Structure 1
């Protein structure tokens, strides 16, 4: 998936009308633990605490121009995509219904409700919620917003363009990108092509939700069960075929990190940078630590994709009470 320079510039115009670029820092304590220079991109510093907001902004900008008749949108989420939809829908005066599975993050649910969405709980996992969202959209003649779409990727690409352009003089040799349904990885690949960086991309999945790793290894979409406690943003049971093909084409590798490794990365991020990371947000660092021997002494990139974790769960992580 590629974008023209004009498409990227237009995405930047749309995104920066709502938020400034986010920073990237080389944190000394992270470098010390990793054994190499580590640059951390702070997508937890957005108005919804996660990178997804960028895609929602570009998606809705295109939607309202191409479909001025749309007044109601429906989507499914584990939280960050839903906040993105709610944020953008409110800016454009559209009604939004978001479906989440039962047992979803209470604080992400509260954040979505605060943005004005009608929150519906259905099913035991994201896939069940997604299927119900499609049914609701059809029943109410509403516009169904997918979780993977070219316009979502175009917006998210602005984050990675910022990252690669900030480090243009000395880009990282490798960038670890968490994979939920694949929009973040697709955006990183598009931004890499746009800037002309040679950075290798390594996708990161939860060891308790391995659909994209299994698909990468099989060369075709493969479903996998989901049991992760921490990485709800990566809790994908059914991968998107287009995303699978893109990851197979663009990824140096795809690796899996356990909830224990994610918890350790969350603690390290808090201790070394005083930033709160949700499970998926810490997955990139968890992978970098897992593979530190491969890249020791070199420049590494990690994206803290979000910081939306429920306080009781984060407290358990800090107390080392999360186990696989």
Structure 2
């Protein structure tokens, strides 16, 4: 059955989110707009208390879980970082035990943040899918509730940023959103539809993690053998069927961007707005800039979904600008 929400359902979820997390701003940045050749509105989800949009979904999901299962001892989930921080934050607030499974080689600083939020961190496998499958096995063994990365309650929660953006800027012609497992773009599509707007919603993925682009093309879930992108928030190789269905119905298209384009977008955010964007957070801007010719003179939204990037990674990305300049001389 297709996932859909009424405006009232989304507004009720937004009220719950806003009782903990204030609305984030959407700013017009002249330098960024000049670079894109369009009026750009950046939705700053990097300004939430956890530095990413995921905190919204965790709050709504855990609230519903406590109502459905008041005696639930704890939850377990798999993540590359921001979803795990959201779950650890919301579960700890609700008095639940949060167990988080991440792949080996995961972000050092995201791991540290999850532990600081109360998570019991387990490292397993080489990518998100490996970690997820291990979380499934552990949930049965430990008697923990398996908290998915894609669920109606998560979508209702993260849709609150879509409501904020599209209520403040109802005249946006397009909004670019990254796709990991799909909760973020599903939330924006749901908010757009609930508000009765005609804004085009455009998904953006790394060309190295193209499962959702291939799925959109073929109108069915298509897995890939790898998701080898440094933008860990979009490193998905097995799409969620329900997400594919909603995205195929509600998105205009999906754009693929290269690793170099993502890294350049991270630098543009710093030079043009002095905001830090992690790889997945910069993916929408990379997609918008790739389509600059089609966007010329239009009013465009881009979602900066998070700024949780390891210092060493970010330092390397910024220093590439000097190397590129030297190579061009």
Report the TM-score when normalising by structure 1: 0.97
CA distance in 2, matches of 1:6, 1:127: 34
Contact 2:52 2:305 in 1 (8 A): yes
Name the counterpart of 1:123: 125
Name the counterpart of 1:180: 180
Name the counterpart of 1:146: 148
- What is the RMSD of the two structures over their aligned residues, measured on CA atoms? 1.2
1:32-68 residue CA offsets vs partner (Å, 9 max, x unmatched): 0011101000000011100000000000010001110
What displacement does 1:166 show?
A: 0.3
Contact 2:204 2:287 in 1 (8 A): yes
What displacement does 1:2 show?
A: 2.1
Contact 2:209 2:229 in 1 (8 A): no
Structure 2: state its 5+ residue gaps: 325-329
What displacement does 1:295 show?
A: 1.1
Name the counterpart of 2:223: 223
Contact 2:206 2:229 in 1 (8 A): no
Query: What SS does the corresponding residue of 1:175 show, helix, strand or coil?
Result: strand
- By percentage of residues, which structure has more helix? 2
Name the counterpart of 2:327: none
Name the counterpart of 1:13: 15
Return the match for 1:81 from 72, 80, 83.
Answer: 83
Report the TM-score when normalising by structure 2: 0.96
Structure 1 stretches of at least 4 aligned residues deviating more than 4 Å after TM superposition? none
What displacement does 1:195 show?
A: 1.4
1:95-136 residue CA offsets vs partner (Å, 9 max, x unmatched): 010000000000000000000100000000000000000000
What displacement does 1:227 show?
A: 4.6
What displacement does 1:6 show?
A: 2.8
CA distance in 2, matches of 1:299, 1:318: 28
Name the counterpart of 1:160: 162
Return the match for 1:100 from 96, 99, 102.
Answer: 102
Name the counterpart of 2:32: 30
175-184 or 193-202: bigger deviation: 193-202
Q: How many residues align?
A: 321
1:14-34 residue CA offsets vs partner (Å, 9 max, x unmatched): 111111100001100011001
**Counterpart check, 1:64 vs 2:66:** yes
CA distance in 1, matches of 2:107, 2:147: 21
What displacement does 1:245 show?
A: 1.0
